[in-house]
């Protein structure tokens, strides 16, 4: 098998697929400042864009999920009108396209954007309009991207059935599935069974945040009670894998997840920043990849982690020695795991992703 090295130019040029990225975690720092000034929001820790960029990145020693989540109070504060939300969504699509992302599923929680009188439907419409504008701007520069959205329910707010119905209502307009987010500990997926059952009855798609800050019980409930098609993060599946000598023994849950090819939406840098992993070098993504789980690489929150999908691939390449072939395998995993219709997935794989990597191997870059 070829082992083409990963250079920064190859990483940037390679077609990439992103399945786990939060809209309110991916704003440009400059946009946060500008929107805050427009509405008179005084809560930001600084008015200097460089200082603000550094503040948002929760990578100091001892950082944990609580510190990581502090930034969302500021980003959601400046995403409360139609114009604000459209701008953020447009810039998200544009920035991802310039980073070489060809397909993205971006999630957001509409219930967090109602403070200035918008309805749930108006929030979704603003996001979709922004994505359309950003993709058109990128296309004008020769960068083609498909951006779809997942509607998230905040598990601690108990509006999941309403959010699931909202997702179904917009399924033909660009919403491709449903998700629950927020704190896992104390808010198990089974508290939201009516929402998941609605999604199932409507023949729709779902992914569930599980196995990030909490362990195997969260994954087990998401898979066995809620029928999750993908696991948001899912890295705590490593707790069901035991090393025996030079081999690894999978427990029944880990075996089930691997055998069923349930995709893991892994976000390594974010996991380090939230305390779910001690360091990138110690992150379980490489072992899970070697054990042939359906691993995908994702950003989670680009602002809070100070990353792009390209930089995440570069960091993992440095840590684990990934090659262009490894990057292609992860990208194909993501494309196969997307909530795109089957024929559209095949077209994306066969006309965009595989030719793109073939050109890189042939020395185009």
pLDDT at 65 over 80: no
Are 24 and 108 in contact, with CB atoms under 8 Å apart? Answer: yes
Is 162 one of the annotated active-site residues of the chain?
no
Are 107 and 20 in contact, with CB atoms under 8 Å apart? Answer: yes
Q: Which domains are assigned to the chain?
A: 8-28+86-361 (3.20.20.140)
pLDDT at 32 over 70: yes
Catalytic option among 125, 184, 212, 221:
212
Neighbours of 351 (CB within 10 A): 10
Strand locations in 23-142, DSSP E? 101-108
Q: Could you give the percent of the chain with pLDDT greater than 90? A: 90
Which residue has 């510190």 as its token pair? 67
pLDDT, tens digit (0-9, with 9 covering 90-100), for 164-199: 999 999 999 999 999 999 988 888 999 999 999 999
Q: Does the predicted TM-score (pTM) go above 0.75?
A: yes
pLDDT band of 210, cuts 50, 70, 90: very high
Q: What is the pLDDT of residue 184?
A: 85
């Amino acid at each position: 098998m070829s082992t083409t090295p990963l250079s920064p130019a190859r990483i940037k040029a390679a077609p990439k697929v992103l399945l786990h990225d939060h809209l309110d975690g991916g704003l440009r720092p400059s946009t946060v400042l500008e929107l805050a000034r427009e509405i008179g929001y005084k809560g930001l820790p600084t008015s200097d864009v460089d200082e603000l960029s550094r503040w948002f990145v929760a990578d100091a020693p001892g950082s944990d999920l609580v510190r990581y989540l502090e930034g969302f109070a500021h980003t959601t504060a400046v995403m409360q009108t139609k114009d604000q939300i459209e701008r953020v969504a447009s810039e998200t699509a544009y920035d991802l396209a310039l980073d070489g992302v060809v397909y993205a599923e971006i999630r957001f929680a509409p219930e967090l954007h109602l403070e200035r009188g918008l309805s749930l439907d108006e929030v979704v419409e603003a996001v979709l309009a922004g994505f359309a504008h950003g993709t058109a701007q990128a296309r004008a520069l020769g960068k083609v991207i498909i951006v779809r959205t997942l509607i998230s329910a905040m598990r601690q707010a108990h509006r999941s059935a309403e959010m699931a119905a909202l997702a179904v209502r917009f399924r033909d307009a660009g919403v491709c599935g449903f998700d629950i987010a927020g704190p896992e500990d104390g808010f198990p997926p089974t508290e939201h069974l009516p929402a998941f059952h609605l999604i199932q009855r409507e023949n729709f798609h779902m992914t569930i945040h599980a196995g990030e800050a909490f362990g195997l019980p969260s994954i087990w409930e998401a898979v066995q009670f809620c029928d999750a098609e993908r696991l948001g993060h899912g890295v705590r599946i490593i707790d069901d894998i035991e090393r025996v000598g030079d081999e690894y023994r999978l427990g029944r849950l880990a075996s089930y997840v691997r055998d069923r090819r349930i995709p893991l939406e892994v976000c390594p840098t974010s996991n380090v920043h939230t305390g779910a992993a001690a360091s990138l070098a110690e992150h379980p993504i490489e072992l899970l990849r070697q054990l042939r789980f359906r691993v995908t690489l994702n950003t989670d929150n680009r602002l809070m982690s100070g990353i792009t999908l390209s930089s995440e691939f570069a960091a993992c390449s440095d840590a684990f020695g990934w090659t262009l072939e490894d990057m292609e395998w992860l990208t194909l995993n993501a494309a196969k795991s997307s909530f795109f219709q089957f024929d559209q997935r095949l077209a994306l794989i066969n006309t965009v992703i595989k030719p793109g990597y073939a050109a890189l191997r042939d020395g185009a870059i």
